[in-house]
Chain A
Amino acid sequence: MPYEIKFKQVLNPTTKMMVVRAPDVAAVCRPGQFVILRVNETGERFPLTIADFDRDKGDITIVYQEVGKSTKLLGSLEIGDEILDFVGPLGKPSPTDKYYGTVVAIGGGCGSAICYPVARAFKESGNYLITINGARSMDLLLFRKQMYEISDEFYETTDDGSCGVHGFVTAVLGDLIQKGRKIDLVFAVGPVPMMKFVSKTTEPSDIKTLVSLNSIMVDGTGMCGACRVTVGGQMKFACVDGPEFDGHQVDFNELMGRLNAYWEEEAVSMGRWMKETGGTA
């Protein structure tokens, strides 16, 4: 079954958004779940968290940063092209149907796109929603309008100070905590160091913190164990037990090591890709 690309948008120099026709997935997926895709016959399987879905149209939105060959290859496809394999929804959905009180949703970089449907669902469940959208610089901030529209309070941070608060997302979060704001749940998705420091920021005040992990996966159904992660001293598989876990329990250092497992091979693939495409992609 072909998975046609119905829409494509370049969000910033390294990030793209695509709307893919996948009615089976769109019919049942819930915020926080992911898909695994394979672009072509020689391609690898890799996971992307669902950024949005339209049940009526049968569409799934994905947002991804072009960090390696596979995401570059995906990015080279145009509207009307087809993705060979697209399977999901995988993983457990976010616990968004519950009322917690005040929820702080934090998206960092490309993570903002993944944060968006989860944050929206928290809002729809009646929670007071504070969002913190962070990136290295203003041009890398994603989903600003969407996030703003669903939020009761909206903050932005940039590492270089080109927009919003100068600093990391933890600066705003720490400030909210320090001011004594009652926060019932923090949901964070973004680069691993960001999720690690968000968890460290909330730990002293014992604020429940969920992080969405982007482990390396092959099958995504609990079969290969590539995505295993230590949570509270226990071995968990991000694909079936997650992808969201209690940030205070996750061994982030181990996760970072495992994410770098194939960096040499990734560099080889990337080199070949640059050569094939003339280095323009």
Chain B
Amino acid sequence: MADDKKRRERKPPTKKVPMPEQDPNLRRRNFNEVALGYTAEQAVEEANKCLGCRNPRCVSGCPVEVPIREFINLVREEKFVEAAQKIKETNSLPAICGRVCPQETQCEESCIYGIRNEPIAVGRLERFVADYAREQGESIPKTTKRTGRKVAIIGSGPAGLTCAGDLVKLGHEVQVFEAFHKPGGVLMYGIPEFRLPKDIVEAEVEYLEKMGVQFRYNFVVGKIRTVDQLMEEDGFDAVFIGTGAGAPNFLRIEGMNLVDVFSANEILTRTNLMRGYKFPEYDTPVRVGDKVAVIGGGNVAMDAARTALRLGAAEVSIVYRRSREQMPARAEEIHHAEEEGIQFKLLINPTEVHGDDKNHVIGMSCVRMELGEPDESGRRRPIPIPKSEFVLDVDTVIVAIGNSPNPIVPESIPGLELTKWGTIVVDEETGMSSREGIFAGGDIVTGAATVISAMGAGKKAARGIHKFLTGETVEGESGSEDESKKSESEKRKKSKKSKQDK
């Protein structure tokens, strides 16, 4: 009896220190960042809950092996700049990761404190220290080593930037080739300003530049120079391909080429990279109508929907053929979208987009779905319900059903082994492709996945490249030490897990 009472008096589970956010009613009409970030007091309060586990599990959930316990300890001691430097030992882009990583399925999922409580808000702390250090002005770590080897990185997205950062720290000469006029890849053109401000992406890139990474913009590898020319004529000893999954998929239904049907990529690129939301101050127009349907249930669909709202649409709906539980988007993104008034039309599949005589969208035929037996992805397969067709009243359709690998670079490399989906086949451990000295990682290998899994692949490839160039194994990083201590089976488990994230 006494025991029972005692148990009932156990402290209730704690929650994360809440993240200050812009009011949904205000933010749904502006492009300012939604999450405002912790104050120093909030960060210390959150960090103080960390158990500082002797065998922390959080770090094994992190694809870029951030020394989480160590940096949180430094936050506790209010050594915020040192905390950021600690993270940067293994992660070149903490301000980005702190904002866009799905921590709930990675570090925070494995958090021991999180077994009974909400886990420690690792992502929010990472963001806080990265922002703090950037605002204070951080010192650039001196790399004195010079290996004399040159590496070309193709694409400046999360995989390429991570690979570049790790390689320059190891003393290699690194040049990044970017097709666009700005760096960052999906971080710049895809993820909206209100989730990841572009000046933060530019600041992280600037940090890499100060460390010695060189960037060349407006450079389309495969068109201007082939990978073989880079290696044979331009003196690069190794190449990393991180060109991502940038080719938008469309549905195979009538009406996909109507004027008001857009890929999510187009809406997002016009808005983010080209700053179309500031039209006409910026020259690139971006236009949505009053009633917008976004087809798809992933993070890109959420981004497109919330962008459409901010561009002035009166009503924005997510149209998804499966149920809410099966949506691939992060819970937080779905929650934010709902708060802002995005409607969710679930178990609905479009069958045709209708246009008027000027090819403008005047409606979208849909069919209701029900869930049947699980399919190869393990999710219950959506099946059309007979005679359930109806027309959705919309004037704009945004297609966000995924992207395929961009074929320009892979197709320009003879002898490169590709999968039937056009992704590059690489060695799991080293990231090397079927061609010696050519490495790849990120969405160009896995198909469309997350920023952090691409960064993990960039990191792995940097190690593979270093070994390839010098014969040495990367040591000295706290993360890699942990790695070497781990059993083979643990490593296998981890690589399996990072695969599931896509």
Contact = CB atoms under 8 A, between A and B. Distances in A.
Contact of B257 (A224, A228, A272): A228
Interface in B177-194: 179-181, 189
B218 A69 contact: no
Contacts of A152: none
Interface string A114-152: 000000000000000000000000000000000000000
Contact of B270 (A24, A89, A218): A218
Given A221-B408, A230-B257, A45 B274 contact: yes
Interface of B: prevailing SS: loop
Contact of A89 (B216, B223, B281): B223
Contacts of A260: 259
Contacts of B270: 218, 224
Interface stretch (A105-113, A156-164, A165-173, A261-269): A261-269
Contacts of B266: 218, 224-226
Contacts of A258: 257, 259, 359
Contacts of B287: 261-262, 264-265
Contacts of B224: 24-25, 27-28, 89
B280 A24 contact: no
Interface string B443-465: 00000000000000000000000
Contacts of B280: 265, 268-269, 272
Interface in B207-229: 216-220, 223-225
Contacts of A272: 280
Query: How many residues of A sit at the interface, in one of the four size bands?
Result: 35 or more
Contacts of B265: 223-225
Given A85-B181, A228-B257, A230-B257, A42 B281 contact: yes
Interface in B385-436: 406-408
Interface in A200-241: 218-219, 221-226, 228-230, 235, 240
Contact of A223 (B247, B250, B275, B281): B247
A40 to B, nearest CB: 9
Given A45-B284, A240-B408, A257-B358, A222 B269 contact: no
Given A223-B248, A258-B359, A265-B287, A38 B223 contact: no
Q: Which of A87, A262, A268 has the most CB of B within 10 A?
A: A87
A265 B259 contact: no
A88 interface: yes
A124 to B, nearest CB: 22
A138 to B, nearest CB: 33
A15 interface: no
B219 A24 contact: yes
B50 interface: no
Interface of A: 1, 24-25, 27-28, 38, 42-45, 69-70, 73, 84-90, 218-219, 221-226, 228-230, 235, 240, 251, 254, 257-258, 260-262, 264-266, 268-269, 272
Given A224-B270, A225-B265, 17 more contacts: A1-B218, A24-B225, A45-B284, A218-B266, A218-B274, A219-B189, A219-B269, A223-B246, A223-B247, A224-B269, A229-B257, A230-B257, A235-B256, A240-B408, A254-B359, A257-B359, A262-B287
12 contacts: A44-B282, A87-B218, A89-B224, A90-B223, A218-B274, A219-B269, A223-B189, A226-B262, A226-B263, A229-B257, A235-B256, A240-B408
